[in-house]
Amino acid sequence: MRKNIEPSSLARDDRFQRQTTEERFKDLRDTMEVGKVDPKAEDVADRARRRMHGIFVGEIQALEGAGRTAFDFGTDEVPYELKLDMARQCWDEARHCEISIKLAEHMGGELGEYVESTTLFEAACHDDPVFRLAGVNRALEGLAIDVFTQMRDFGQEMGDPVLEYCEDYMLADEVTHVRMGSKWLRAVTEDDPERRKAAIEFQRVVDGLFNFRGQRGEERDAPIRLARQFRKMAGFTDGEVDEILETSMKQRAEVDAERMARSIMSED
Ligand SMILES: [Fe+2]
Ligand SMILES: [Fe+2]
């Protein structure tokens, strides 16, 4: 089996439609569609299905990414225990794939109904395992903690115990995956502050993109609510959560300013 494969060599059958990160974020305005899954909104079913499909494809890529990291590096590059943790993560993600495809069906969706963005797998193809931990385990699975917490609450509000318990169950695993990322990022870069700094910068870039122009917040009705307590259980510091929040608020202010500028222009 080949090591360090290209991000574009992700194997899929023809039910899937692919979109690279570059395509996804080429016009940042497009990403405004992410939106909140609001139980009272008219298009709530479609939004929930879209989000569920996104979670499902994220789970497949997380499985593939963790598998790659367990395989791509020798014990001269990473501790054997790190490889074991990645193998354990594969086991979790395989269960999440089964759960989330069944949940997608439960919500009336089907495989391939929405595009698959391959950001997670792209980050999981990084040459440096520490960047994979920062970009995948901390940034993107950190986002999964936020999203699963919100979907669990959404399931509860909608009176759907199947959704509520499935999300709660997957959330517990994601806390473990993020914690693995925090633990190994620190351990592997113990004597290499430059490498740690660069990996954390990579995490910051991924987190910045996945704020979707200011959609993450801490207020109750934020489109994506930061799950501070679960993030802290997973090795995030308050300062790190604050930083994501501040970046998101800055992005939100930019979006508001653009909107205002557009409405002033259209009044002329
Ligand atoms: Fe997962
Ligand atoms: Fe995960």
- Token couple for 242: 């604050």
| Prediction pTM value | 0.92
pLDDT digits (tens, 9 = 90+) for 84-117: 999 999 999 999 999 999 999 998 999 999 999 9
Return the pLDDT at 2.
87
CA of 61 to the centre of ligand 2 (A): 10
CA of 165 to the centre of ligand 1 (A): 14
Closest-approaching ligand to the CA atom of 137: 2
Q: 113 by DSSP, 3-state: which?
A: coil
CA of 92 to the centre of ligand 2 (A): 7
User: Where do the domains of the chain lie?
Assistant: 15-267
Closest-approaching ligand to the CA atom of 65: 2
Q: Which residue has the tokens 């399931």?
A: 155
Return the pLDDT at 31.
47
What single-letter amino acid sits at 147?
A: V
CA of 166 to the centre of ligand 1 (A): 11
CA of 91 to the centre of ligand 1 (A): 10
Return the pLDDT at 24.
84
Give how far Cα 133 sits from Cα of 3, 101, 180, 213, 223, Å. Answer: 17, 25, 8, 24, 26
CA of 1 to the centre of ligand 1 (A): 24
- Token couple for 81: 């225990």
CA of 96 to the centre of ligand 1 (A): 5
CA of 167 to the centre of ligand 1 (A): 10
Return the pLDDT at 42.
82
Return the pLDDT at 268.
66
CA of 6 to the centre of ligand 2 (A): 21
CA angle 119, 120, 125 (to 5 degrees): 95
Q: 16 by DSSP, 3-state: which?
A: coil
Q: How many residues does the chain have?
A: 268
Return the pLDDT at 20.
86
Spans of the chain below 70 pLDDT: 27-35, 268
Return the pLDDT at 249.
96
Does domain 15-267 bear CATH number 1.10.357?
no
What single-letter amino acid sits at 159?
A: G
Cβ of 34: how many Cβ atoms within 10 Å?
A: 18
Report the distance separating Cα 121 and Cα 101, nearest Å: 18
- Token couple for 168: 């709660």
| Distance, CA of 92 to chain centre | 16
CA of 89 to the centre of ligand 2 (A): 7
Rg of the Cα trace of the chain? 18
